[in-house]
Structures are given as structure tokens and as C-alpha cells.
Amino acid sequence: QVQLVESGGGLVQAGGSLRLSCAASGSVWSINGMGWYRQAPGKQRELVAALTSGGSTNYADSVKGRFTISRDDVKNTVYLQMNSLEPEDTGVYYCRVIDSTDIYWGQGTQVTVSS
């Protein structure tokens, strides 16, 4: 089992920055990949950024060049640095972790970007 605790959301003006954190505990040695998803009001949850255990990254086209996913293996934490935020980035951001058998989700953190 893996437990996830997210932090770092908030209200920011367009053009601003936020950094989200997702701290993992439990069976962290079994983690194969980590990622961030978001869900805007009335829309489906979508992938924002993903990071494999080998270090490969994948980003949604809408955030390329603005967002960066990274991890700290000592702290068992994955980060999402979000720069040049736009009102369209508003939503609940969820951390997701996968191992060989299960998918784990964080509780979500709200990001609101005002114009």
C-alpha cells in the first residue's frame, strides 16, 4: 500500500507560479511511476505530467514549457512546478502513483488561477 499527501495548491494570478508536492509513504519501493492529473469543473480528469521510475517524462501539450515534474527520492516526494499559469489551468490537481498491481490517488489540491 502507498499513501499520498498533496500540498501546495492555492489562488494565484495569471502569470504566476505554484509548486505542488506529493509525499508518498508506505510501500514506496514498489512505485513504478508517478504523475499529476487535474480535473476542471465539468470536465474529465486529464493527465498533466508523468514521470517514470527510469526518469522519462511526459507532458500534456497545454503545459509543455510551463510545467516541470520532478522527484526527490530521499523524501519520496514528487513535485509539479507550474509557471506562467493561465486561468485554464484552474482545477483540482491529483497526484497518482502506480506499482505493479495498483493505482493510488492523492486527495487532490485546488489550484485557482485568476485573470
> What average pLDDT does this structure show over 34-46?
96
Tell me the pLDDT band of 20, cut-offs 50, 70 and 90: very high
- Rounded to whole angstroms, the Cα distance separating 111 from 16 reads 12
Type of residue numbered 114: S
Per-residue pLDDT tens over the stretch 44-58 = 999 999 999 889 999
DSSP 37-106: EEE-TTS--EEEEEEETTS-EEE-GGGTTTEEEEEETTTTEEEEEE-S--GGG-EEEEEEEE-SS-EEE-
Can you tell me whether residue 115 is helix, strand or coil? coil
Per-residue pLDDT tens over the stretch 68-102 = 999 998 999 999 999 999 999 999 999 999 988 89
Type of residue numbered 10: G
